[in-house]
Amino acid sequence: MTDDALRATARDLATRSLEAGDDTGWFEELYAAARDGRAVVPWADLAPFPGLVERARPGSGRAVVVGCGLGDDAEFLASLGWSVTAFDVSPTAVAAARERFPDSKVDYLAADLLDLPSVWSFDLVVEVFTVQVLTGGARERAIAAVAGLVASGGTLQVLARHREDDGDPGRMPWPLTRAEMASFAAHGLTAVTVEDYLDGEEPPVRRWYGEFTRPS
């Protein structure tokens, strides 16, 4: 099966799940299929995302990685000194991350972004590519949930694919608009920067980087 066909499997799983009224069930199906060699996880490059590597800063506080997948971004943050919690809605993804990094200091957990413990609060929240694979009301709830993880005085870093406000969202992943990026600030945060940039892929992909803080 070609790589394009394997990626198409991810889109088919998403379509069927959404048509059945399940916003997130397809993630576990996808990671299970990838484990068995029947699909690829389009956002899992088995390396920390370059856009995060370029922008992350060393720290010693508590950090959380939203939708951690196979763990690369979480491990990178841990290498910078952060005490990292990383969660994913897919138990298969969490198990794979633990297996890949058996000596990790990261606390890997299975948890649903749309139904998180209310007590969770972190000095650094990192969201890379999770919101862009959710649509409609689930996307709005996800943005609110991500923002809600930021502790007083904390920072949120968001990386996502770029779409113009009047652009066609196309197929999964569904890129974010500037208005959607700015909406993280509607939940008690202050926007430090919301900027678009071209990455180093060939051909280059236009992406967003947003940084937000919660006042102390």
Confidence of residue 4 (pLDDT cuts 50, 70, 90): low
Q: By percentage, how much of the chain surpasses pLDDT 90?
A: 84
Is this model's pTM higher than 0.85 or not?
yes
Give the per-residue pLDDT at 16.
Answer: 93
Q: Is the pLDDT of residue 213 over 90?
A: yes
Confidence of residue 39 (pLDDT cuts 50, 70, 90): confident
Interatomic CA distance for residues 31 and 26, integer angstroms: 9
AA letter at 36: D
Domain ranges of the chain: 43-213
AA letter at 59: G
Q: Give me the CATH code for the 43-213 domain, please.
A: 3.40.50.150
CB 176 within 8 A of CB 131: yes
Neighbours of 71 (CB within 10 A): 27
Give the per-residue pLDDT at 6.
Answer: 60
3-state class of 128 per DSSP? strand
| Mean pLDDT, rounded, of the chain | 95
Task: Give the model confidence (pLDDT) of 57-112 as tens digits.
Answer: 999 999 999 999 999 999 999 999 999 999 999 999 999 999 999 999 999 999 99
Distance of alpha carbon 77 from the chain centroid: 14
Lowest model confidence (mean pLDDT) among 46-50, 160-164, 168-172, 196-200? 168-172
7-11 long-range contacts, CB within 8 A, separation 24+: 7/39, 7/40, 7/42, 9/33, 9/38, 9/39, 9/40, 10/39, 10/40, 10/41, 10/42, 10/172, 11/171, 11/172
